[in-house]
Amino acid sequence: MKVPLLNLKLQYQAHKNELDKAVLRVVESQYFILGPEVDEMEKAFCGYLNCNYAVGVSSGTDALLLALMAIGIKSGNEVIVPTYSFFSTAGVISRLNATPVFVDINKTTFNIDSEDIKRKITEKTKAIIPVHLYGQSCEMDEIVSIAKEHKLKIIEDAAQAIGTQYKDGRYVGTIGDIGCFSFFPSKNLGCYGDGGLAVTNDPELAERLKIMRVHGAKPRYYHKTIGGNFRLDALQAAVLNVKLPYLNSWSAKRRTNADLYNKLFIEAGLTTSVGETEFNDNNKVLLPKAVYREYSETVKNYNIYNQYIIRVQKRDELRKHLSDNEIGNEIYYPVPFHLQECFSNLNYKQGDFPNAEEACATSLALPIFPELTEEQIKYVVDTIRDFIYK
Ligand SMILES: *Cc1c(COP(=O)(O)O)cnc(C)c1O
């Protein structure tokens, strides 16, 4: 049985009529950059996320870069980030000649460790970028209180967490000063090219985001500040306007898939419960825990499972076994930021962040996309069981 990591064609087939119409509407209008489709999309996201301002931008990476520019990050500043995330989170800091300061992750959630944030704050620190990794919220109460105490800005990297709710019901991305989202095609809500969004509740920051999105000009050709071309195109907005109403139902299917994986792994005797963090004879496959699940009476989207990440000791051998059996899989992320060649000037070394290093060495993403069938999930678990007990 073939089980791809992701199959975007299934979603397209299910909504083809609506999507084709939206794309054609843009082509017929010949209005391609910003404009009414983008305005409509920004309004729709404000409504969905329950926030005051949304600014459509050219990618998730650009949302992060623009957010840092809007809060005035510059040379000499330090910005705190988890060492375990997609490259953009750290890259944007260096692109502004500021210094990324890395911290370790929590073993259970893979998210930034608040205690380690406190240890890394200096008088140069200006901001923290918590990343809601794999679709699960960071512990925002702690992060907000640290930021308040030290007068730091919070830029949320919610690229993998569109629709994730924190334990109090707020949507991630709307809790810090600016929230950043990505609509890269393979994200939970993907458009048909690159696209992103920056959201805020602060009117001044919203104004800066909007002006800097178009080279810092207001009115056109009169430049208040130096921005860039961070514009979203109308085609992407039109696709997102069609897809946004379905997002919650897709997230619910991902949670159903995760529940089935959890149940089957436990029944197969591969682990004793969800969220174990130590390997031993009873726990050979460690499962990802949805930590805010207990709030699920009020918080439906406690985790949108951008990825379903297991941990195993013979990860690379298992990976080969899965690939040999036509099961899609991926390693997010094989190398933490502090060991990347491009950051070698920052003088970190192996062993500095043990939790992140362990995650890099043992984690493996399994297929979790909404259209996956029960049969496919059973086949994935059976194939892993066969490998471990062979
Ligand atoms: C995908 C992603 C980004 C970047 O988004 P792009 O739209 O690809 O530029 C940033 N941060 C995280 C955590 C991501 O997963």
What Å distances lie between residue 196 and 156, 237, 276, CA to CA? 13, 10, 34
The whole-model pTM stands at 0.98
Distance from residue 347's CA to the centre of ligand 1 (Å): 25
Number of the ligand 1 atom closest to the C-alpha atom of 59: 7
For 13-51, the pLDDT digits (tens) are 999 999 999 999 999 999 999 999 999 999 999 999 999
Q: What is the pLDDT of residue 366?
A: 98
pLDDT exceeds cutoff 90 at 160: yes
Distance from residue 61's CA to the centre of ligand 1 (Å): 6
Q: What is the pLDDT of residue 137?
A: 98
Number of the ligand 1 atom closest to the C-alpha atom of 61: 9
Distance from residue 75's CA to the centre of ligand 1 (Å): 23
Distance from residue 25's CA to the centre of ligand 1 (Å): 28
pLDDT exceeds cutoff 90 at 224: no
Distance from residue 158's CA to the centre of ligand 1 (Å): 8
Q: What is the mean pLDDT of residues 295-322?
A: 95
Please give the Cα distance from 64 to 95 (Å, whole number).
Answer: 11
Banded model confidence at residue 287, pLDDT cuts 50, 70, 90: very high
Please give the Cα distance from 45 to 42 (Å, whole number).
Answer: 5
Number of the ligand 1 atom closest to the C-alpha atom of 184: 7
Q: What is the pLDDT of residue 71?
A: 98
Mutate which of 92, 112, 133, 182 for ligand 1 pocket (most atoms within 8 A of beta carbon): 182
Number of the ligand 1 atom closest to the C-alpha atom of 133: 13
Per cent of the chain over pLDDT 90 is 97
Q: What is the mean pLDDT of residues 348-376?
A: 98
The class (CATH top level) of 8-245 is alpha beta
Banded model confidence at residue 296, pLDDT cuts 50, 70, 90: confident
For 327-356, the pLDDT digits (tens) are 999 999 999 999 999 999 999 999 999 999
Asked if 180 and 156 touch (Cβ cutoff 8 Å), the reply is yes
Please give the Cα distance from 95 to 75 (Å, whole number).
Answer: 10
Structure tokens belonging to residue 367: 């297929």
Distance of CA 52 to the CA centre of its chain: 21
Q: What is the pLDDT of residue 334?
A: 96
> What residue segments make up the domains of the chain, in order of their start?
8-245, 246-388
Average pLDDT, the chain: 97
Mutate which of 62, 65, 83, 86 for ligand 1 pocket (most atoms within 8 A of beta carbon): 86
pLDDT exceeds cutoff 90 at 298: no
Distance from residue 70's CA to the centre of ligand 1 (Å): 19
Q: What is the pLDDT of residue 297?
A: 81
pLDDT exceeds cutoff 90 at 370: yes
Banded model confidence at residue 390, pLDDT cuts 50, 70, 90: confident
Mutate which of 79, 85, 89, 111 for ligand 1 pocket (most atoms within 8 A of beta carbon): 89
Distance from residue 368's CA to the centre of ligand 1 (Å): 18
Third-level CATH fold of 246-388: Aspartate Aminotransferase, domain 1 (3.90.1150)
Give the pocket of ligand 1 (CB within 6 Å). 59-61, 85-86, 88-89, 131, 157, 159-160, 182, 184, 194, 196
pLDDT exceeds cutoff 90 at 183: yes
